[in-house]
Structure 1
């Protein structure tokens, strides 16, 4: 059985051996081992969403030995804004970007996520908001996790915890 889930801010977290982002062929952000974060902001997002997603980025145990970024002093986080996480492909052949927040709304919230992570003394590199970026990463695992903040945004269907594949661990989901 599927239930409706309310989602707002979205982040795709990838465990990486290294990652960098270039703008106009110049490296503007780079990390060694850590987490690459592709971050999307919805129009209804606010401080609660920033706190939720920042906490997940810092505390999810997706690094080797089931450790989090906040537990590994040398781990870095590369945050790249990504409005295309809200691409709606249900109709036609061109994605609609209407689910993404406009730049003036999204930019301060992306900055707030970065500032919140830095306040936790996590090393954070960034791309350039609104720029065309070339993102390079060496995935480790691979481990990729999607984080969505619960809130007052759009409604999407998702598996309930009692549904097949809706378990709480990768082993549960594989059953």
Structure 2
């Protein structure tokens, strides 16, 4: 009696094994890094939003006579007031002359809404950009905050309207805490 060699019965070559590193995409590997099923709570600094933040136009450069303004929800806490959402505003001066005294005035807000204005930008040279952060308490509403954006010579009526997801506060919890909350 002889021992059989299984290779003798194999008519096709054995399939090549693909290493795991070549199979997983780099974005999947990045997404899975740091993932654990322990009861440790992740701090907000540990988790950052993926991709870039969506910007919205606040003032078009033609309407703004060379001043172009965009805003985005930075998804960072607004430290002076935890009830407010941090709104990052970027000013770009595409005019040939400098813009002076950039500020907010006379906000037209719905009942209960509040605004913490950004510090005045005294001078924005031609071709330059500046970024400021302001706080808005939308009072759990998706109603727009109507504002007057002013320069030394003009007033522009603008609106900041939040998408629903930007009004939610992130909550960091362990897997077990999540399952407990999910069961409620």
Question: In which range does the TM-score fall when normalised by the shorter chain?
Answer: under 0.3
Question: Which structure is higher in helix share?
Answer: 1
TM-score (norm. length: structure 2): 0.26
Higher Rg of the two aligned structures = 2
Q: Which has the higher contact order (CA 8 A, sep 6+)?
A: 1
Q: TM-score with structure 1 length normalisation?
A: 0.27
